[in-house]
Structure 1
Amino acid sequence: MVDEQFTDSGFWNKIKLFSRQAGREVIERALWLYYASQQPNTPKWAKSVIFGALAYFISPLDAIPDLTPLVGFTDDLGALAAALTMVSLYIDDEVKSRAADKLALWFGDKPTEPKI
């Protein structure tokens, strides 16, 4: 099962190592999905979609290697965006607020209104 390839520790390690390189937009989308997966109202099918996208995000094997300058995270952003499209109903204000708080800690500022 896809969610067996995703781990919390792998997710937070990837975020820790690559947050600046990946950029705010990629990290924001990853956090939206992560926090949505923890919501009790998110159904199993949506969690499977989320875990699949997050497993791709933390995987060292990418279509475009993450260390490639300027474009390394575009494939990750595409996977995250596709998952967000499918599960957008579960990206509520609480999820966005938790992500915004975490981003403010890491990037030092709070964004204006995030968009899906």
Structure 2
Amino acid sequence: MAGQGNFDFFARGAKADESEVRAKFWHTAKKATRSIPFMEDVVAAYYCALDRNTPLRAKAILLAALGYFVLPADAVPDILLGIGFTDDIAVLSAAVAAVRAHITPAHRLAAKEALAERG
């Protein structure tokens, strides 16, 4: 089937991104909690990205945005007080808006509970 190789490459890339996001998400989220006003949406997006029932396209969008979020080096270094997470906010808000229909009430509940536990 034409294009199957591209799909396989895309799926392998999403799997690699997922491993990195899983490894670094909570550490970065803890640092960003005060800087990102919609952290509950970000955490819900994290749970959506890890959900095996989330369509691959939505998962890839979220993993790309979350991967950017957890990267140690990005366009605006996260250590800059006040503006460090502004680029992350833009990327995350665009990703969440693009896949909002796939973020379920279960993802939102898991996010709320996780933030309460880590709060």
TM-score range, shorter chain: 0.7 to 0.9
Count of matched residue pairs: 105
The structure carrying a bigger helix percent of its residues is: 2
> What percent identity do the matched residue pairs reach?
31
| Residue of structure 2 in register with 1:37 after alignment | 49
Displacement over 6 Å in runs of 4+: none
RMSD: 1.9
TM-score after normalising by structure 2: 0.76
Find 1:72's aligned residue among 60, 67, 84: 84
TM-score after normalising by structure 1: 0.78
The structure that has the greater radius of gyration is: 2
Structure 1 residues 43 and 20, CA, compared in 2 at 3 Å: closer, same or farther?
closer
Query: Is contact 1:3-1:52 (8 Å) kept?
Result: no
Query: Where does structure 2 lack aligned partners over 5 or more consecutive residues?
Result: 1-12
Query: Where does structure 1 lack aligned partners over 5 or more consecutive residues?
Result: 108-116
Structure 1 residues 106 and 3, CA, compared in 2 at 3 Å: closer, same or farther?
same
Structure 1 residue 26: Cα displacement: 4.9
Query: Is contact 2:41-2:108 (8 Å) kept?
Result: no
Residues 88-99 of structure 1: matches in 2 within 5 Å?
88-99=100-111
Counterpart amino acid of residue 12 in structure 1 = W
